Amino acid sequence: MNRRTVGRQPKYQRIAADLKAAIAAGTYTPGQRIPGENDLMATYEVARMTARQALATLRSEGLIEARKGAGIFVRQYEVVIRRRGVQRLSLNLWAQGKSVWSADIDDRSLEVDSVSVMEEPAPKGVAATLDTPAEAPVCVRRRRFLLDGRPVLFATSYLDAELVAGTAITQPDTGPGGIYARLDEIGHKPVHFREEIRSRMPNAEETAGLGLTPGTPVTLICRTAFAEDGRAVEVNDMVLDSSAYVLEYEFDA
């Protein structure tokens, strides 16, 4: 950036750029307090609104966070969960009555604190994947997962309502091994999975439900489970707190 461009920048952007450079250089490390509004006003000889805008810029980018009564700090990203994308879908887990989460959490506390199961029309793309008529209701399971008391994931599973009628899949508690073990019992064992991953900024419901701080994106994973005959038997849309996850995929060449 040349001097002429810098000169045209609003003052708050120049202050924000200085702070970002200091964070990148390690002058301010994760968890360390950075200059607040009063400090920036004195250092840069600017109005409070200018200092506030500079800090708001860093907050919107997820670089800093405000702690009530303590100040502004460089944000710390703590890996809460390492999601082992291959191991967690192994037949050896759910066929033995274990949760797919057991590959990720060891002995930590996992809680599903919100479960709803209902029949409703599937989104257009989901209906096409499950090969169900667009107007036909599907079984929809919505859950929120907490790890050690912290919300980390929303998950919504879509299944053919006729296929799973009368099974525990239509109940809040699907039993040992979860959905995949129940599908196995009715002759539709998943043998192949596809996951698509992308990210975006959260909506208001996701921000509140996952306790996200400003500037935190969510990771979206759409997993489709296929039976031996190639039929898609479940579509699972997941919304993850990206600051809590590392997505790990380990496989042979």
For 3, 67, 104, 109, 198, the CA distances from 71, given in Å and listed in that order, are: 32, 6, 35, 32, 33
pLDDT for 61 equals 80
Q: Is 22 helix (H, G, I), strand (E, B) or coil?
A: helix
Residue 111: predicted pLDDT: 92
Instruction: Please write the tens of the pLDDT for every residue from 210-236.
Output: 998 878 899 999 999 999 999 999 999
Take residue 89 and report the two structure tokens written for it.
Answer: 């879908």
Per-residue pLDDT, 68: 82
Helices and strands (DSSP H and E) totals, the chain: 10, 11
pLDDT score of 60: 82
What's residue 98's pLDDT? 86
Q: At what angle do helices 48-60 and 11-25 cross, to 10 degrees?
A: 50
Q: Computed over its alpha carbons, how large is the radius of gyration of the chain?
A: 23
pTM as predicted = 0.79
pLDDT at 134: 82
Q: What structural domains and CATH numbers belong to the chain?
A: 3-74 (1.10.10.10), 81-248 (3.40.1410.10)
Kindly give the parts of the chain with pLDDT less than 70. 1-7, 77, 79
